[in-house]
Amino acid sequence: MKKWFALSAIGRDRPGIVADLAELIYECDCNLEDSSMTILGGEFAVLLLLSGQEADVERRLSSACKRLEWEKRLTVFFRPLENEPVRYGAGERTISYELQATGVDKAGIVARIARCLADQGINITQMQTHSRPEPGSGTAIYTMRMRMEVPTTVGIPALRERLERIADALHIHIDLTPGNSRE
């Protein structure tokens, strides 16, 4: 019977982390089903979805993760999943959108926008943020990019209005751009 696991790891970025994790997965007779990796500052972070069929796969993964933590100085977490993973909202009609917010860096940009989206039942599927000094003045300019799945029941004009009120209150600019539909 196929068993599913989520595994995350974080550690100081260096060549070989992906190879170390891939070897761990292979040595435990698991299959890498899905992955997302990034570098934030000098830290490497990864989230992996694995499957395996051996009876002792959970024990083997646990042992291998502990070894990797000790030998390679990574912080590794893994957990078994109850069933085959199903993406949130699978089967629902949604429209993909991208949102970009830009403005002088200040507390609350992500919190206010994310809460607005959550209150509408919108699922954020990907997010990137960064703050960079503006050339000349050195003022910190914050940029946030999100991909999201918007249920077709959400009124886009009303959503734009809510986002515009947030943009006005925070003195930032928000762009909302449609993408492809998903059923």
CATH number for position 25 = 3.30.70.260
Polymer length of the chain: 183
pTM for this model (two decimals): 0.80
Count of the separate structural domains present in the chain: 2
Alpha helices in 44-181 (DSSP H): 57-72, 109-119, 156-170
Asked if residue 150 and residue 102 are part of one domain, the reply reads yes
Between the two ends of the chain, the Cα-to-Cα distance in Å is 29
Q: Flag whether pLDDT at 53 surpasses 60.
A: yes
The token pair that represents 151 in the structure block: 């249920």
Asked if residue 165 and residue 138 are part of one domain, the reply reads yes
Residue range 100-157, pLDDT digits in tens: 999 999 999 999 999 999 999 999 999 999 999 998 899 999 999 999 999 999 999 9
Residue 111, domain member (yes or no): yes
Residue 120, domain member (yes or no): yes
Asked if residue 73 and residue 120 are part of one domain, the reply reads no
How many Å apart are CA 72 and CA 12, to the nearest integer? 10
Asked if residue 105 and residue 44 are part of one domain, the reply reads no
Residue range 54-91, pLDDT digits in tens: 999 999 999 999 999 999 999 999 999 998 887 766 66
Asked if residue 105 and residue 171 are part of one domain, the reply reads yes
Residue range(s) defining the domain that contains residue 70:
3-81
With beta carbons less than 8 A apart as the criterion, state whether 89 and 149 touch: yes
Radius of gyration (C-alpha) of the chain in whole angstroms: 20
Residue 164, domain member (yes or no): yes
Asked if residue 176 and residue 98 are part of one domain, the reply reads yes
Asked if residue 177 and residue 100 are part of one domain, the reply reads yes
Q: Which of 125, 178, 116, 175 is nearest to 152 (CA)?
A: 178
DSSP E strand boundaries for 85-122: 94-104
How many Å apart are CA 114 and CA 94, to the nearest integer? 18
Asked if residue 154 and residue 74 are part of one domain, the reply reads no
With beta carbons less than 8 A apart as the criterion, state whether 102 and 172 touch: yes
Contacts of residue 54, defined as CB under 8 A and 6 or more positions apart, other chains included, come to 28, 29, 60
Residue 137, domain member (yes or no): yes
Q: Flag whether pLDDT at 50 surpasses 50.
A: yes
Residue 86, domain member (yes or no): no
With beta carbons less than 8 A apart as the criterion, state whether 10 and 87 touch: no
With beta carbons less than 8 A apart as the criterion, state whether 16 and 74 touch: no
Residue 88, domain member (yes or no): no
Residue 162, domain member (yes or no): yes
Residue range 85-110, pLDDT digits in tens: 877 666 678 999 999 999 999 999 99
